[in-house]
Amino acid sequence: MRVLTVAPGPDFSVQDVHMGWTKGLAKAGVTVREFNLNKRLELWTRAQIDGTNLFNFDAALDITKEGLYGQLWAFDPDVVVITSGFFTEPEMIDRIRSKGKLVVMIHTESPYEDDRQVALAAHCDVNVVNDPTNIDRFNQVAPTVYIPHAYDPDVHHARGGHRKFDFSFIGTGYGSRVEWFEQVVWPSDAKVLFGGNWQTIDDGSPLAPFVMTQRDECVDNTETAAIYRSTVCSLNRYRREADRPELAEGWSMGPREVELAACGVFFGRDPRPESDQVFPMLPVVEHPGELSDLLAWAKAHPDLRQRAADEAAAAIADRTFENNAKRLLDVLDV
């Protein structure tokens, strides 16, 4: 069986999901080829002659899509797995399917962007959602299955960590997160690190001294995992931004929770039903004032902290991309 995996485009956490699925499918015994849409799109948007860009974004995207259609001919996959579909139009999916290819879309933005995702799902053969809150809507338009977020054991593990940071948070600086974290009163001696896309903050933000990179830069998954292993305490904080306010509340754990647990890190939880079921050993943190107290407790109780972290790692031990790939293959009945 041959599978062509299509990258999402943005080099955010969704790229990590794409890489995880690509690797997981290969480990599950599938012949996999990756279409690196992100790199190709970057190449064409930066192409210049004498300092002048040759293509605007739309033209660069058209050229990138033609490269994908070329891969359908050259590789001749049985299945095309698209992650996120940020740059995927219904006509593009229809064209792929017209060539006799089975199209699977990995939807990574549930429930926040389910209006957009359901519209794309209607054009796919099988859909995978990362949160089942609105799965009935998906199933009304095409077969859909919930497969939880996963981790890569080669990247997310607890080996070799040295706790040099008291607190770290890696993720996108959505406005709701910025507002929440700016209310935290950090101990004066705390070693705090933020990473990811934090261009929404200004120089006057109390978070500005803690951002480790340029504020418009992301942190790749390997470096993120290394930071987690170097951290005493972290926190998962969900975004509140969504297509509509009623789409902001989810059920499932996010990828960062699974990755933090796999890296053996103690962290506080923004409560959700699935994490309440899986991580009862980890504390809930809902208000900014609770975070400094949690950090102080974690530093003062290393043994209890690590015991909870070890229990959390055991709770998600089977949530690997390889196991997720096997579940998808079972759904496809191949």
DSSP designation for 329: H
pLDDT score, position 162:
80
**What tens digit of pLDDT does each residue of 37-72 get?**
888 888 888 888 878 888 898 898 899 989 999 999
Nearest residue to 83 (alpha-carbon basis) of 325, 307, 316, 293: 325
pLDDT interval class at 257 (50, 70, 90): very high
pLDDT, average across residues 153-172: 91
pLDDT above 90 covers a percentage of the chain that reads 77
Q: Give the pLDDT score at 53.
A: 87
pLDDT band at 9 (very low <50, low <70, confident <90, very high): confident
Cis peptide before 302 (omega within 30 of 0): no
Mean pLDDT over 79-91 rounds to 93
Position 161 scores a pLDDT of 72
Q: Does residue 252 register a pLDDT over 80?
A: yes
Name 116's Cβ contacts closer than 8 Å, sequence gap at least 6. 109, 243
Q: For residues 92 and 78, what is the distance between their CA atoms, to the nearest angstrom?
A: 17
At 210, the amino acid letter reads: F
Whether the pLDDT of residue 142 is over 70: the answer is: yes
Mean pLDDT computed over every residue of the chain: 93
Q: At 59, which helix (H) or strand (E)? A: helix 57-75
pLDDT tens per residue, range 266-316:
999 999 999 999 999 999 999 999 999 999 999 999 999 999 999 999 999
